[in-house]
Amino acid sequence: MSTSLPARLAALEAEVVACTACPRLVAWRTAVAARPRPAHDGDTYWARPLPGFGDPDAWLVLVGLAPAAHGGNRTGRMFTGDRSGDFLFAALHRAGLASQPESRERGDGLTLSGAFVTAAVRCAPPDNRPLPEERRACAPFLAGELALLGRATVVLALGSIAYDELRRLGAAPTVGRAPRFAHGLELELGAARPFRSGQHLLCSYHPSQRNVFTGLLTAAMLDGVLARAADLRRP
């Protein structure tokens, strides 16, 4: 009897959570948990690697950079409990992909329909800057999720690091060389595992506080990318 998709995703999730491959990240995520911000005093931090989460039958996979030190590293779920997540989940809610416009903690009722959220790196890195070897160590987890999410027709890279890691995994256009990262960039992908022929890769600036506060990324811009992703969705 073949193992169900949710069971295979759960097995990969357990592998991600148990990872201790990067000593610098293990030390940092633990140190952050030992020094909560005043707003989170008394919270028990997750302080482990984060798997992706969402709809196993997702047509859209969103790939971010890494958990925030006092966001996902605290709550145990990607983009949950920080301002980047507030901005992202509000957009997903407007697009009909999230059940509510914000997410403060795991178990708060948020569900995703048609979408799966993950990241290139699974532990919070110092200064949000993972080292090349740390990015490489996490790559098999992202590849594993993409391979299992067989109904996904669009992959959305949130930021240049996510785009670079997707390219490193084999995301390449059907014709020519992949261009440099740019907001709104769109590529049709060839059949190089873990990708499939006919999939599309889209790019957006990362919904970081800096990008949002400076206006580099606006709600209308992110809404536009999600609308384009919906246009590219295949039945």
Q: Which residue has the tokens 């950079």?
A: 65
- How far apart, in Å, do the first and last CA atoms of the chain sit? 28
Q: What is the pLDDT along the chain (235 residues), one digit of tens a residue?
A: 468 999 999 999 999 999 999 999 999 999 999 999 998 998 999 999 999 999 999 999 999 999 999 999 999 999 999 999 999 999 999 999 999 999 999 989 999 999 999 999 999 999 999 999 999 999 999 999 999 999 999 999 999 999 999 999 999 898 888 899 999 999 999 888 899 999 999 999 999 999 999 999 999 999 999 999 999 996 5
DSSP state of 111: -
Q: Which fold has domain 5-39+46-232?
A: Uracil-DNA Glycosylase, subunit E (3.40.470)
Q: How far is CA 108 from the centre of its chain?
A: 19
DSSP three-state, residue 54 = strand
Report the alpha-carbon angle 217-121-154, nearest 5. Answer: 60
